[in-house]
Amino acid sequence: MSTVLITGAGTGIGNLTARALARAGHRVYASMRDTASDRAEELRRLATDERIDLRPIVLDVQSEDSAQQAVDTILEETGDLNVVVQNAGHLATGYVEAFTAEDIAHLFDVNVLGAQRVNRAVLPHFRARRSGTLLYVGSTSVLDVPPFLGPYVASKAAFDVMAQATRYEVAPLGIESVIVMPGPFTRGTNHFPNASRASDAAVTEGYAELEPFVARNLQATNSLFPEGVDPDPVAVADEITRVLALPYGTRPFRTVVDFTRFSVDDINELSASHIRRAMHHMGYERLLTVAQS
C-alpha cells in the first residue's frame, strides 16, 4: 500500500478520504493547519480504535515553508511518499463585481497557489524515484459555471489547467496525474457553511433585485438531482480509494462523481479527444503517458 498525503483533511471530502484510504490499508497523513484541534484528535482516536495508520500533520497550503516541512517530515518518518491528494480549497459566494481584487487573490492563493506550493515540495522526491501520483480534487463547476460563484469557479478552473499542464511535464518522468471531479453536494461537508462572501457590501446592495435567486440557490442546486437521489460526499472518498487501488500507470486522468442529471463524462471525453488529436499533430503524444521505468 501507499504513503498518502492529503491536504485539507480536517473536514469534508478530505477528512472522508483520509478515513477511507487508511481503512483500505494506506498510510495516510491527514494534513490541516492545526493538529491540536478536536478534528485532529478525533482522527487519532479513530486510528487507535480501528488500528489503522492515520496521522494528522500540520500543513498550511498558504505557506511554502509549511508545505516543505510537512513533506520533509513524512520522508523522515517513512522514507517514502507515493501519493498526494490535492484537496484543500476555499469557497466564496457573491456577485463578481462585489469581490475586491484582494478577495479574489485570497481565493487563488488557497485554491491554486496552495496546490503549487505542495507540488513544488513533493515533485523533487517523485522525480528522483521516477514514480508518484498527483491526485487533484477538482470540480464539475468548471464546466457548467453556476451563478454567484464566479471567482471560486475561476480559481478551480485555474487549478484544473495547472493540473493538466503539470501532467504533460511530469508524465515522461514516471509521475501520473488524476483529476477527480465531484459534482455539487449540498450536505455532508462544511464547504457552503464555511464559505466567505464578497467583501464589497455597497456593490452587493446594488444587486439587491437578484437576491431572490441567491436565496433559492440551495433549492436550485437540489433540483439538479433526479427524484429520490440523495448525494453523499463519501462517494468521492470511495472513488479516490477505488482509483488508487488500480495498478500504477493505469489510473484514469479524469473521473467524475456527479449525481446530477447531466453527463459530464461526455464533455470530458470530447475534450480528451481534442487534446489527443492536438498532441498527436504536435508530436507530443509521449507527454500523455506515464513512463514506465
Q: What is the pLDDT of residues 52-91, one digit of tens each?
A: 999 999 999 999 999 999 999 999 999 999 999 999 999 9
pLDDT value at residue 224: 80
pLDDT value at residue 57: 98
Average pLDDT of the residues in 153-172: 98
pLDDT value at residue 293: 59
Please, what's the b/e burial string for 228-249 (b: 16 or more CB within 10 A of its CB; e: otherwise)? eeebebebbbbbbbebbeeebe
Q: What is the pLDDT of residues 205-262, one digit of tens each?
A: 999 999 998 888 777 777 788 887 878 899 999 999 999 999 998 999 999 998 887 7
Closest CA to 221 of 139, 146, 137: 146
Per-residue pLDDT band at 188 (split at 50, 70, 90): low
State the chain's mean pLDDT as an integer. 93
pLDDT value at residue 30: 98
Instruction: DSSP for 226-246, please give it.
Output: PTT----THHHHHHHHHHHHS
Average pLDDT of the residues in 129-133: 97
Convert 6-59 into a string of H (helix), E (strand) and C (coil).
Answer: ECCCCCHHHHHHHHHHHHCCCEEEEEECCCCCHHHHHHHHHHHHHCCCEEEEEC
pLDDT value at residue 190: 65
Q: What is the pLDDT of residues 196-205, one digit of tens each?
A: 899 999 999 9
Per-residue pLDDT band at 192 (split at 50, 70, 90): low
Q: What is the pLDDT of residues 79-123, one digit of tens each?
A: 999 999 999 999 999 999 999 999 999 999 999 999 999 999 999
Name the residue type at position 277.
R
Percent of the chain with pLDDT over 70: 97
End-to-end CA, the chain: 19
**SS3 state of residue 252:** coil
Q: What is the pLDDT of residues 10-40, one digit of tens each?
A: 999 999 999 999 999 999 999 999 999 999 9
Q: How far apart are CA 70 and CA 72, in angstroms?
A: 5
In the block, cell 459555471 appears at 145
For residue 6, CA distances in Å to 44, 71, 121, 240, 246 come to 15, 11, 14, 11, 18
